[in-house]
């Protein structure tokens, strides 16, 4: 659902400075807010949280700064957006009181807040760096990885155990012996 009024389309063509996007990642869909260099909202919308959806929306854009919250999907989304040529900031939302302590939890408002903070000063987002994709893969020889499924596979939901609890934590597969005490 993109909002494109005539005034927003005009500001798109006459945009000032670099573009900044804030995106609140969800399991199925993600909300985003795009600001021009002067802080004017250019576009809001939602995108499927899949490789295909992200590539369709953000692959067609010129280079811009994109802020996302750290979470289940942030490792693969940040790698994908970087591969499309964007600057990506992964925000540690727990350290950003404006998001974590907000009484108005709303994906649209979170996306706007991420965009505004990233435009003004990215350090306000307390950015983190994900480990490489290879470092997040389980070691086949270590015996880990028997829990099945990755929480951070593009567009895939996490694996669930028979009690309906996630068998993955922060995008890492855990062995049954390690995950049992954590998931009680």
**pLDDT higher at 142 or 65:** 65
126 or 111, which is more confident? 111
Instruction: List pLDDT tens digits, range 116-163.
Output: 999 998 888 887 888 676 666 665 555 554 444 444 455 555 555 555
The verdict on 145 and 71 lying in the same domain is: no
Q: pLDDT higher for 171 or 69?
A: 69
Residues sharing a CB contact under 8 Å with residue 28, sequence separation 6 or more, in sequence order:
48, 49
Q: Is residue 122 domain-shared with residue 161, that is, in the same domain?
A: no
| pLDDT at residue 57, rounded to an integer | 95
Whether residue 63 is found in the same domain as residue 99: yes
In a domain, 133, yes or no: no
Cα-based torsion angle of the residue sequence 6, 84, 86, 7 in order, rounded to the nearest 10 degrees: 0
Q: Tell me which of 77 and 134 has the higher pLDDT.
A: 77
**Residue 134 domain-assigned?**
no
Averaged pLDDT for residues 81-108: 82
Cβ-count burial 125-147 (b if 16+ within 10 Å, e if not): bbbeebeeeeebebeeeeebbeb
Our count of domains for the chain comes to: 2
Same structural domain, 75 and 160: no
- DSSP calls for 156-180: -PPPB-TTS-BSEETTEE--HHHHH
Q: What pLDDT was estimated at residue 122?
A: 85
In a domain, 91, yes or no: yes
DSSP classification of residue 89: E
Domain C-terminal end among 109, 128, 147:
128
Range with lowest mean pLDDT among 3-17, 24-38, 158-172? 3-17
Q: 115 and 160 share a domain?
A: no
Domain coverage including residue 156: 139-182
In this prediction the pTM is 0.66
Inter-residue contact 115 to 122 (CB < 8 Å): no
Q: Output the DSSP codes for 29-78.
A: EEEEEEE-TTS-EEEEEEEESSHHHHHHHHSSSPS-EEEEE-STTHHHHH
Percentage of the chain modeled with pLDDT above 70: 57
């Amino acid at each position: 659902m993109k909002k494109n009024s005539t005034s927003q389309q005009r500001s798109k063509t006459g945009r000032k400075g670099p573009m900044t996007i804030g995106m609140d990642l969800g399991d199925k869909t993600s909300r985003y807010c795009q600001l021009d260099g002067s802080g004017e909202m250019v576009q809001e919308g939602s995108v499927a949280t899949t490789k295909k959806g992200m590539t369709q929306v953000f692959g067609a854009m010129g280079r811009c700064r994109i802020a996302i919250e750290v979470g289940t999907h942030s490792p693969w989304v940040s790698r994908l957006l970087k591969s499309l040529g964007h600057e990506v900031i992964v925000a540690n939302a727990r350290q950003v009181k404006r998001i974590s302590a907000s009484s108005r939890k709303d994906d649209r408002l979170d996306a706007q807040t991420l965009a505004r903070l990233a435009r003004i000063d990215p350090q306000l987002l307390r950015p983190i760096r994900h480990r490489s994709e290879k470092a997040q893969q389980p070691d086949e020889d270590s015996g880990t990885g028997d829990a099945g499924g990755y929480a951070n596979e593009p567009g895939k939901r996490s694996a669930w155990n028979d009690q309906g609890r996630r068998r993955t934590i922060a995008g890492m597969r855990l062995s049954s012996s390690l995950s049992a005490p954590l998931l009680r």
